[in-house]
């Protein structure tokens, strides 16, 4: 059996035509996902074995047209012209033939070797639509194979046909559609000009370039100017001339005429005995009936809230146990290594640096897995598009898009989410600017890691209003996130709102296989991140909190203190400490406590002297304006690693030793008594913690989804913003004597 790749096939078609279902069916587990270089559009590839030939199948993003509208459409077109796949399998929804064939017509104009996979023939049939595939194939001049992607019917024939086309050594044969007198004449002139100068002909057929110029395709126009400014100028002048003429005589743009003629061409094909419809087309289908209830003006929002709460409950309650298992595993791993490795910097690095850091990140994996599964379910069933539809009006007033809702909710819109899947969920947004504004503001939400910190500080300083404060801070997160998004959209990310011309796909039962693949590929990307960027940052943070460590004179002082204590105690009490007994005498317990206290003091002293401690102390001159002392500063520095770390670091810094983030009662009392804390500082700290730099997992995700530039921007911008707010809270609060 040959293992070389014999052919590359591209899978293309409209969104919701069943492309992904077919791709999953054909490739099964033999697929992998990456991003197209430089952009975040997913690139999916898989392998198919057919008659001993190994075929690479590339799943192109769903597009409505080959004229560049979004990054997806650009990717699809660039792939076709740059990588010239052997065959393009164009998947077409049989129940919606005319609209779907609009893209097909453009493939034909481009001249790619094409096979049409006529999908969902069963659905079409149930709606009374019969399609004469032979006739369609004959009129379009390409093979048409009826299939049902969900069940796999027809996919064998499809592959066989595609292989035949690939073996046919056919050159690209562009189709010529007439665009009416005025445009046909202009196209002829443009084609002559293009051919004379071999302008872009390496990539596009001359006629295709001419049409794209008339359609005012920005990307191609820019490309043309790069290729040859003089030829480009000549073409643009010609297009301008005909455009003005058409405006004057018909008051339309060339692109409108082109679209009309394409649809006209398709109509003439379809009316030629291809399609027979027996039922009344006004029938309400199940999807429409569901929409009558689900997007109803009163019921819609209520159902939406219920669904979102359901997603929340599902994610957080079902993932609870697996999270405990993963944490248990890492706990066991560090305990085992602790006994195996000799004490010293290496053990500290492996346990406190690597396992705690990466383990903390991997601990999220079950949660992310469940969250992505829930989202995939909402996405694949078609509900997510309805949420965007219902929320668009509100989000638009803040410069966002209806599709921004989901990322916000996932990130902690209902307190307790996580910004990491939230950032990843922004992929559903088409416009780069709206997407960026969403991506940069989702970390303001109260994620699951901030909740214990909130609980600690609210519990310590606002005991009597716990629930109300929690609610207020959740509202505050939304308000700030939306306002910052608005601010970004009128400053750094200025730009028009993108159109909301969107399809509401029919409700469908998602296939389990699709859901699992969807969930796994996203989760796997997250896991890979933990192994690279996050590992590096964990080690860095560990080093900052460990080195340079206590000078030997200081160490000697603590050792001496311990020895003095031991010497003062009776020998049998000391012996009691050595063996692990359940019941110790009172004296032994007391001694153990005293020893622990010294250990804690030593840890605190070492922390103060560490690089992080020194930074914390140095920052005091600035942070005092917000009411934070050096210990809080270190905790906040640690919080950059993960917000939960704030509690444990505060614990260490306030000589409390290890503090369990789940049960921070003792720390809470400690803070209440501390003269460095009061109500105003608590609110100031809460505001800062909610809004400052996202944790490094999120930052790494932002870098992955956008760029390192935006990741650094989000760290700097959020921190400055949060600090300004915190200073404001502290100064006003102190002025009004609210402490």
Partner 1 sequence: MASISLRALPPGQRATISAVTADGELGRRIRDMGLVPGAEITITGRAPLKDPVALKVGTTTLTLRNNEADQIMVAVPH
255 contacts partner 1 (rule: CB under 8 A) = yes
Instruction: Pick the binder of partner 1 from 33, 41, 71, 259 (CB under 8 A).
Output: 259
Q: How far is the CB of 397 from partner 1 (least distance, A)?
A: 10
Instruction: Pick the binder of partner 1 from 6, 35, 130, 287 (CB under 8 A).
Output: 287
Q: How far is the CB of 430 from partner 1 (least distance, A)?
A: 10
Q: What are phi and psi of 54, to 5 degrees?
A: -100, 115
Instruction: Pick the binder of partner 1 from 56, 84, 127, 197 (CB under 8 A).
Output: 127
306 contacts partner 1 (rule: CB under 8 A) = no
207-226 binders of partner 1 (CB under 8 A): 215-216
504 contacts partner 1 (rule: CB under 8 A) = yes
Judged by beta carbon, residue 299 or residue 468, the one nearer partner 1 is 299
Instruction: Pick the binder of partner 1 from 143, 359, 422, 506 (CB under 8 A).
Output: 506
Q: Are 668 and 459 in contact (CB under 8 A)?
A: yes
Distance CA 299, CA 13 (A): 34
Judged by beta carbon, residue 501 or residue 736, the one nearer partner 1 is 501
Judged by beta carbon, residue 98 or residue 660, the one nearer partner 1 is 98
Query: Phi/psi zone of residue 31: left (φ > 0), alpha (ψ -120 to 50 degrees), beta?
Result: beta
Tokens of 708: 């390192």
Terminal C-alpha separation, the chain: 78
Instruction: Pick the binder of partner 1 from 45, 193, 227, 503 (CB under 8 A).
Output: 503
Q: What SS3 state is found at 462?
A: coil
390 contacts partner 1 (rule: CB under 8 A) = yes
Judged by beta carbon, residue 236 or residue 503, the one nearer partner 1 is 503
Instruction: Pick the binder of partner 1 from 223, 502, 574, 611 (CB under 8 A).
Output: 502
65 contacts partner 1 (rule: CB under 8 A) = yes
Which range, of 42-50, 224-232, 250-258, 341-349, touches partner 1 by CB under 8 A? 250-258
Q: What are phi and psi of 249, to 5 degrees?
A: -85, -40
260 contacts partner 1 (rule: CB under 8 A) = yes
625 contacts partner 1 (rule: CB under 8 A) = no
59 contacts partner 1 (rule: CB under 8 A) = no
170, 178, 114, 166: which is closest to 140 by C-alpha?
Answer: 114
Tokens of 454: 């909130």
Distance CA 664, CA 37 (A): 46
183-212 binders of partner 1 (CB under 8 A): none
For helices 533-546 and 630-639, what crossing angle results, to 10°? 160
Judged by beta carbon, residue 121 or residue 449, the one nearer partner 1 is 121
Within 8 A by CB and 6+ apart from 299, the residues are 293
Judged by beta carbon, residue 256 or residue 738, the one nearer partner 1 is 256
Q: Are 662 and 459 in contact (CB under 8 A)?
A: no
584 contacts partner 1 (rule: CB under 8 A) = no
Which range, of 292-300, 353-361, 369-377, 435-443, touches partner 1 by CB under 8 A? 292-300
Q: Are 415 and 452 in contact (CB under 8 A)?
A: no
Tokens of 446: 């109260």
Q: Are 364 and 534 in contact (CB under 8 A)?
A: no
Instruction: Pick the binder of partner 1 from 102, 318, 558, 713 (CB under 8 A).
Output: 102
Tokens of 651: 């614990």
460-499 binders of partner 1 (CB under 8 A): 499
525, 323, 324, 496: which is closest to 423 by C-alpha?
Answer: 525
107 contacts partner 1 (rule: CB under 8 A) = no
Judged by beta carbon, residue 289 or residue 313, the one nearer partner 1 is 289
Within 8 A by CB and 6+ apart from 510, the residues are 376, 377, 380, 381
Judged by beta carbon, residue 129 or residue 481, the one nearer partner 1 is 129
Mapping DSSP onto H, E and C, the string for 61-72 reads: CCCCCCCCCCHH
706, 611, 518, 439: which is closest to 24 by C-alpha?
Answer: 518
271 contacts partner 1 (rule: CB under 8 A) = no
E strand or H helix that includes residue 359: helix 356-362
Q: How far is the CB of 99 from partner 1 (least distance, A)?
A: 4
Q: How far is the CB of 435 from partner 1 (least distance, A)?
A: 16
Tokens of 419: 């910004």
Size of the site for partner 1 (CB under 8 A): 45
263 contacts partner 1 (rule: CB under 8 A) = yes
125, 126, 166, 116: which is closest to 146 by C-alpha?
Answer: 116
301 contacts partner 1 (rule: CB under 8 A) = yes
248 contacts partner 1 (rule: CB under 8 A) = no
567 contacts partner 1 (rule: CB under 8 A) = no
379 contacts partner 1 (rule: CB under 8 A) = no
DSSP state of 506: P
DSSP string, 342-356: PSSHHHHIIIIIIIH
Count how many Cα atoms sit within 13 Å of the Cα of residue 75 in the half-sphere of its side chain: 24
Q: How far is the CB of 393 from partner 1 (least distance, A)?
A: 4
297 contacts partner 1 (rule: CB under 8 A) = yes
Judged by beta carbon, residue 64 or residue 107, the one nearer partner 1 is 64
249 contacts partner 1 (rule: CB under 8 A) = no
DSSP string, 149-205: TTTTBTHHHHHHHHHHHHHTTPPP--------HHHHHHHHHHHHHHHHTT-STTTS-
Pattern of binders to partner 1 over 12-51, x per CB under 8 A? ----------------------------------------
Tokens of 174: 């562009």
- CA distances from residue 650 to 604, 639, 722 in whole angstroms, order as listed: 10, 10, 19
540 contacts partner 1 (rule: CB under 8 A) = no
Within 8 A by CB and 6+ apart from 103, the residues are 12, 13, 14, 63, 64, 65, 66, 90
98 contacts partner 1 (rule: CB under 8 A) = yes
555 contacts partner 1 (rule: CB under 8 A) = no
Q: How far is the CB of 291 from partner 1 (least distance, A)?
A: 7
157 contacts partner 1 (rule: CB under 8 A) = no
Which range, of 97-105, 149-157, 319-327, 624-632, touches partner 1 by CB under 8 A? 97-105
Q: What are phi and psi of 361, to 5 degrees?
A: -75, -45
Tokens of 27: 């490739």
Bridge partners, 46 (sequence order)? 31, 57
Residues that bind partner 1 (CB under 8 A): 64-65, 67, 69, 95-96, 98-99, 102, 127, 215-216, 253, 255-256, 259-260, 263, 281-282, 285, 287-288, 291-292, 295-298, 300-301, 389-390, 392-394, 396, 402, 499-504, 506
């Amino acid at each position: 059996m040959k293992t070389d790749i014999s052919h590359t096939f591209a899978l293309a078609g409209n969104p919701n035509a069943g492309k992904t279902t077919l791709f999953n069916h054909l490739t099964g587990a033999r697929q992998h996902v990456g991003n197209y270089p430089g952009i975040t559009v997913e690139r999916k590839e898989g392998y198919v074995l057919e008659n001993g030939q190994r075929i690479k199948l590339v799943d192109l993003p769903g597009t409505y047209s080959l004229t560049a509208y979004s990054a997806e459409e650009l990717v699809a077109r660039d792939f076709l012209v740059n990588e010239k796949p052997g065959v393009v399998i164009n998947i077409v929804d049989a129940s919606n033939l005319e609209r779907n064939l609009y893209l097909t017509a453009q493939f034909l104009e481009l001249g790619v070797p094409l096979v049409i996979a006529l999908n969902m023939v069963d659905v079409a049939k149930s709606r009374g639509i019969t399609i004469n595939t032979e006739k369609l194939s004959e009129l379009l001049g390409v093979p048409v194979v009826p299939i049902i992607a969900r069940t796999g019917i027809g996919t064998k024939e499809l592959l066989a046909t595609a292989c035949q086309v690939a073996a046919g050594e056919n050159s690209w044969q562009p189709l010529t559609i007439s665009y009416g007198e005025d445009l046909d004449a202009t196209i002829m002139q443009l084609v002559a000009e293009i051919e004379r100068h071999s302008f872009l002909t390496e990539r596009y057929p001359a006629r295709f370039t001419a049409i794209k110029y008339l359609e005012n395709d920005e990307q191609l126009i820019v490309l043309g100017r790069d290729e040859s400014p003089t030829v480009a100028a000549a073409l643009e002048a010609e297009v301008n001339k005909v455009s003005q003429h058409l405006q004057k005589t018909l008051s339309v743009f060339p692109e409108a005429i082109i679209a009309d003629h394409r649809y006209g061409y398709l109509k003439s094909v379809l009316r030629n005995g291809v399609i027979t419809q027996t039922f009344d087309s006004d029938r309400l289908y199940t999807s429409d009936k569901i929409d009558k209830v689900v997007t109803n003006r009163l019921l819609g929002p209520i159902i939406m809230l219920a669904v979102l709460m359901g997603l929340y409950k599902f994610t957080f309650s079902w993932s609870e146990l697996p999270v405990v298992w993963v944490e248990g595993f890492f706990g066991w791993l560090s305990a085992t290594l602790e006994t195996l490795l000799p004490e010293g910097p290496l053990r500290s690095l492996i346990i406190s640096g690597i396992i705690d850091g990466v383990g903390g990140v991997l601990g999220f994996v079950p949660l992310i897995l469940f969250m992505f599964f829930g989202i995939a379910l909402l996405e694949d069933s078609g509900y997510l598009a309805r949420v965007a539809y219902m929320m668009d009006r509100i989000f638009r007033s803040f410069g966002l898009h209806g599709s921004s809702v989901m990322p916000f909710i996932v990130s902690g819109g209902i307190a307790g989410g996580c910004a990491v899947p939230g950032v990843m969920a922004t992929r559903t947004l088409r416009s780069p600017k709206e997407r960026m504004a969403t991506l940069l503001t989702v970390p303001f939400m109260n994620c699951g890691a901030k909740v214990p910190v909130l609980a600690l500080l609210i519990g310590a300083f606002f005991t009597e209003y716990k629930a109300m404060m929690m609610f207020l801070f959740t509202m505050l997160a939304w308000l700030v996130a939306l306002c910052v998004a608005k601010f970004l959209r009128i400053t750094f990310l200025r730009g028009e709102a993108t159109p909301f011309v969107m399809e509401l796909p029919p409700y469908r039962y998602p296939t389990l296989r699709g859901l699992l693949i969807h969930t796994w590929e996203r989760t796997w990307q997250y896991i890979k991140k933990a192994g690279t960027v996050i590992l590096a940052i964990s080690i860095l943070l560990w080093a900052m909190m460990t080195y340079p460590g206590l000078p030997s004179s200081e160490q000697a002082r603590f050792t001496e203190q311990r020895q003095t204590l031991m010497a003062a105690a009776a020998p049998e009490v000391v012996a009691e400490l050595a063996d692990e007994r359940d019941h110790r005498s009172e004296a032994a317990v007391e001694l153990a406590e005293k020893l622990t206290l010294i250990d804690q003091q030593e840890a605190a002293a070492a922390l103060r002297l560490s690089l992080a401690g020194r930074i914390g102390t140095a920052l005091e001159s600035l942070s005092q304006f917000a009411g934070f002392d050096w210990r809080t500063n270190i905790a906040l520095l640690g919080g950059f690693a993960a917000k939960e770390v704030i509690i444990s670091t505060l614990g260490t810094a306030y000589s409390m030793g290890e503090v369990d983030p789940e049960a921070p009662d003792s720390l809470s009392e400690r803070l209440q008594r501390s003269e460095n804390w009061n109500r105003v500082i608590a609110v100031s700290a809460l505001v800062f913690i909610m809004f400052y730099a996202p944790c490094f997992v999120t930052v790494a995700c932002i870098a992955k989804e956008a760029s390192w530039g935006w990741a650094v921007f989000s760290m700097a911008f959020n921190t400055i913003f949060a600090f300004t707010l915190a200073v404001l809270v502290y100064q006003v609060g102190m002025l009004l004597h609210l402490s």
